[in-house]
Each structure stands twice: as C-alpha cells, then as structure tokens.
Amino acid sequence: MSNFIVIGLCFLFGILIRTRKIFPSDSHKVINSFIISVSLPCMEFGPLRHASLDGNFLTFAAMPWVLFGSGFLFFSFFGKLLDWKESTIVCLCLSAGLGNTSFLGIPLIESYYSKDGLPTVLIIDQLGTFLTLAIPGTYLGTKARHALKSSESKSSLWKTLFTFPPFIALLISLASRPLSVPPELESAISSIGDTLIPLALFSVGYQLPGTIRINSEEPNAENPKRESDDSFRIRIPLLFGLVFKLLIGPIFVWLCFGTFFHYSEKNMGVDFFRNFKILIMESAMAPMITGSLLAAEWGLAPRLAVSLVGIGIPLSFLTTLGLYYLLENQAWTGTIFFGQ
C-alpha cells in the first residue's frame, strides 16, 4: 500500500511544483539526467549480480523480450500505415513495449499472490525488462536519437550505445558476479538506486501539465490531428500505445507462453500455475517509467512518452484487476492450454 501512496504523492508534488512555477521550467531535464546516469545504473547492480539463473526462471524472463519484440512489430506496422515519425515509433517501443514490472508489479503481485510470487517478479523485472531496455531498447533509442541529428556518423551511434551509463552498469554487474563485493559498498549502491522511483514519478508528474498539447491543433503538438480525416483523431499513437500495453500485449503473451508450456515438459504443479498467472499479470502492467523517461530525455516524442505513463498507470489498476478476476474466477481462462 505504501508504494501506491508514493505514486500519488510524487505525481502530485511534481504537478504542484510545475503549476506553481517553483522550479525552472526545464528542471525535469536535470532530474532525468541524474536518473539515467546515476539512479538506474545503481539500481541494476545488486539484482543482476544475485539473480538466480535456473531454467524455469529464464523462461519467465523471456516474457519482456517477447512483449518488446511484438510491440516493435505492432508499432512499426501501424507507424508506417499511419505515417508516424520514427521518433514516435521508438517512443512507443520504449514506453508501451515494456512494462512497469517492478515498482507497480511488486506491490500488485504481492497483493494478489502474496510474497511467494516475488522471486518470479524479480526475475521477470531484472533479467527480462531491464535487460531488454538495456540492450535492444538502448540500441533503438540511440539509433532514433542519432537519426534526428543527420550529421552524426554510425560510429558515433555505437560510441553512444557503449558509453550509455545503464549499459555499462549492465556489463559491470554481470562481470562482477563471480567476485566478492563488500556488503557496505553494495548496500550504498542499492540505496542510491532507490532514488530512481520517486525521482522518476516526480519527473513524470512535473511534465504532465505540458501534455495537454498532445494531438491538439497547436502547431507544435507532438501528434497534431489531420484536418482531412476527422476519424483520425482517435487513431493516435497514445491510444495505440495504451491499447497494446494494457490489452493486446498481455493477450499475445498469454497465448504465446500458454502454447509453449502446453507443449513442453514443465512441471505443472501449483507453484507453476501461480507463476504462470504472475507472468500474465506482469505483462499487463502500465508502460515503463524508465523507458518513457529515456524517450523524453532523448527527444523522442517526449510529451507522448510522459502521457503514456501518466494515463497508463491509473488505467492499469483497472485492467490488471479485471485480468486477475479472469485468471482466478474463470476456470476455462485460468487453465487455458493445460486441459484442466
């Protein structure tokens, strides 16, 4: 429950400080830079060093990769069909192609399935979501960022990728697994990483007042509606992103992994069914805060990125509740593909 209070307070503080003009209007850029360069690398360190790597958990960790890949195909297809910019497509991939599997995922899964399900959540989050963001997500983001600056070379793209702080932290964390790190140092790094969530939520709240221009008629709107097609106003990236993340993506993951486990020789015990349901629930979490902030920081449809989080988080409380009801109260749904 305390995590939900933190969400509300950080959003509220961000909005109030922006509307009252207490901070300079571009203060969120400094906050975002700190998150990307300091908080996120420190947050990755401990969990990636100690993550369990057994077969079942690695299968669950594949979910965010599947979700991100399907999101990339989905947004690329409709992006070309509806003539979206590359920056908009990549923004949707970084935000709606990944889920908020930790800060929202942990309290929600704990509420629905108790603390017994948390190991599965951590594997999905650390080996799945963060690795997906750090590798293909970072590559797509830096590629789109450099495309906005046509003067920059391809070698500059790879230099940016391999000097990106979270990517460096990923390599250091994995390389240091065999080594012994003083507990005091690891605890200090973890404490710094704990600043990511409140700062990220504050930053999103701080930027929310400026999202009113999304899909408006203003000349500098991120996605202005087309005057020649009145129906186009509902066919917008924001709507497509939310529909994919909260509905289409979870359904696809359900069918994909349900089919895989049906034809595999996995142990179908009580714990397995619980973990499978957690996998589906995690796929339905709101758009990823960190991915959205990366898109905003890189200038990839920033108002769209912030709106996906600001609108997606409240909506996800309702959609995950409905999904939980289906998983637990509809026998044909909770046991789909398993013949029980």
Please report where in the chains the tokens 């799945």 appear, as a residue.
128
Domain annotation covers residue 212: no
Residue 289 resides in a domain: yes
Give the per-residue pLDDT at 52: 63
Q: What is the structure's pLDDT at 89?
A: 93
Total number of domains constituting the chain: 1
CA 60/CA 79 separation, integer angstroms = 29
Give pLDDT, residue 251: 92
* Residues in the chain, total: 340
Confidence at residue 216, expressed as pLDDT on a 0 to 100 scale: 47
Q: What range does the domain containing 286 cover?
A: 28-201+232-331
Residues 6+ apart with CB under 8 A from 74: 240, 244, 248
Q: Per-residue pLDDT for the chain (340 aa), expressed as one digit of tens each?
A: 566 677 778 888 988 998 888 888 778 778 878 888 888 788 778 877 776 666 666 788 899 999 999 999 999 999 999 888 898 999 999 999 999 887 678 778 877 887 777 778 877 887 788 888 888 888 888 888 877 765 555 555 566 667 778 778 878 887 888 888 898 998 999 899 888 778 877 887 787 775 554 444 444 444 444 444 433 433 589 999 999 999 999 999 988 888 887 777 555 555 778 888 899 999 999 999 888 888 887 888 888 888 888 888 889 889 998 998 888 876 555 555 554 4
CB 122 within 8 A of CB 51: yes
**Residue 213: inside a domain, yes or no?**
no
Closest by CA to 214, choosing from 203, 225, 205, is 225
| Torsions phi, psi for 312 (to 5 deg) | -70, -35
Q: Tell me: the pLDDT tens digits for 122-142?
A: 778 877 888 888 888 888 888
The pLDDT score that the predictor gives to residue 68 is: 96
Tell whether 254 is covered by a domain.
yes
Q: Does some domain include residue 227? A: no
Using an 8 Å Cβ cutoff, are 314 and 285 in contact?
no
Read off the pTM: 0.74
**Residue 122 included in any domain:** yes
What pLDDT is recorded for position 154? Answer: 53
Closest CA to 249 of 12, 33, 64: 64
179: left (phi over 0), alpha (psi -120 to 50) or beta: beta
**CA 284, CA 267: separation in Å to the nearest integer?**
24
φ, ψ for residue 287, nearest 5 deg: -50, 150
Residue 86 identity:
E
Domain-located, residue 52: yes
d(CA 302, CA 299): 6
CA–CA separation, 13 vs 244, rounded Å? 29
Short-list 292, 312, 299, 316, CA closest to 95 = 292
60-110 pLDDT, tens digit per residue, is 889 999 999 999 999 999 999 988 889 899 999 999 999 988 767 877 887
For the domain that residue 295 is a member of, what is the CATH number?
A: 1.20.1530
Query: 33 lies in a domain?
Result: yes
